[in-house]
Amino acid sequence: MRLALAEAGRAGRGGDVPVGAVVLAPDGRTVLAAGHNEREATGDPTAHAEVLAIRRAAAVLRDSAARSASDKGGGGRRVGAWRLAGCTLVVTLEPCTMCAGALVQSRVDRVVYGARDDKAGAAGSLWDVLRDRRLNHRPEVIEGVLAEDCSRLLTDFFRDR
C-alpha cells in the first residue's frame, strides 16, 4: 500500500485526485505495474489509477508471453496473456464501478484497498460489483489497509482545493 500511496502523491502533485494503484505478480512481491489518476493530465475520463495499472500489467504479461513464445520458436503472442490471474491490485481508494468492472474483466484474483468511498465505491460501500455472484469472476476483497493514511491524502487534497 505504501507504493500505491507514493503513486497517489504523484497524482495529487499533478492536479489529479490522489489515487494510486499497484499490480503485484502472483508471488505477491513483484510489482508488475503501477498507476495513478491521470484524468486531468491526459484529458481522459477513463484514466483512473486502477485502469492504468491494469493496462500496464497486462502489457507486461503480453510482452513476457511474446518473448517466451519467440524463444520457443512460436514467434507470436500467447492467447489469453492479458489475464491477470493470480495477481493482486492494491489501490488507495475503493474502486468505482468502472474500475470494479475492469478488475472483474481482467481476472485479478485479489483487490486490496485503503479508504472507503461512500459516494462511488463499488467494492462494498455503495455497490459491490467485485463480489456480485452473477458475474463470471469474483476477486477476493481486502479493505481498510492503511485507511487513515489513504483518507488523509484525499482529505488534504480536497481541503486545499
**Residue 41 pLDDT class (50, 70, 90 cuts):** very high
Q: Which residues are catalytic?
A: 50
Number of neighbouring beta carbons within 10 Å of residue 20: 31
Tens of pLDDT, residue by residue over 49-97, are 999 999 999 999 988 877 765 556 555 555 667 899 999 999 999 999 9
CA separation for the pair 36, 13 (Å, rounded): 11
* Residue 48 annotated as part of some ligand binding site: yes
What average pLDDT does this structure show over 31-43? 98
pLDDT of residue 82: 85
Tens of pLDDT, residue by residue over 141-152, are 999 999 999 999
* Residue 87 annotated as part of some ligand binding site: no
pLDDT of residue 161: 87
Residue 119 has pLDDT above 90, yes or no: yes
Tens of pLDDT, residue by residue over 21-34, are 999 999 999 999 99
State phi, psi for 48 to the nearest 5 degrees.
-80, 155
- The pTM of the full predicted model, rounded to 2 decimals, is 0.92
Tell which residue, 12, 152, 18, 14, has the closest CA to residue 91: 18
pLDDT of residue 79: 61
Q: Please, what is the Cα angle at 60 between 50 and 72, to 5 degrees?
A: 155
* Residue 36 annotated as part of some ligand binding site: no
Is residue 128 within 8 Å of residue 98, measured between CB atoms?
Answer: no
**Per-chain mean pLDDT for the chain:** 93
Q: What is the CA radius of gyration of the chain?
A: 16
pLDDT of residue 158: 95
C-alpha cell at 134: 452473477
C-alpha cell at 116: 472507503
pLDDT of residue 76: 52
What average pLDDT does this structure show over 92-106? 98
Lowest average pLDDT, out of 3-7, 38-42, 72-76, goes to: 72-76
Buried b (16+ CB within 10 A) or exposed e, 33-69: bbbbbbbeeeeeeebbbbbbbbbbbbebbeeebbeee
Torsion of CA 97, 99, 102, 107, to 10 degrees: -100
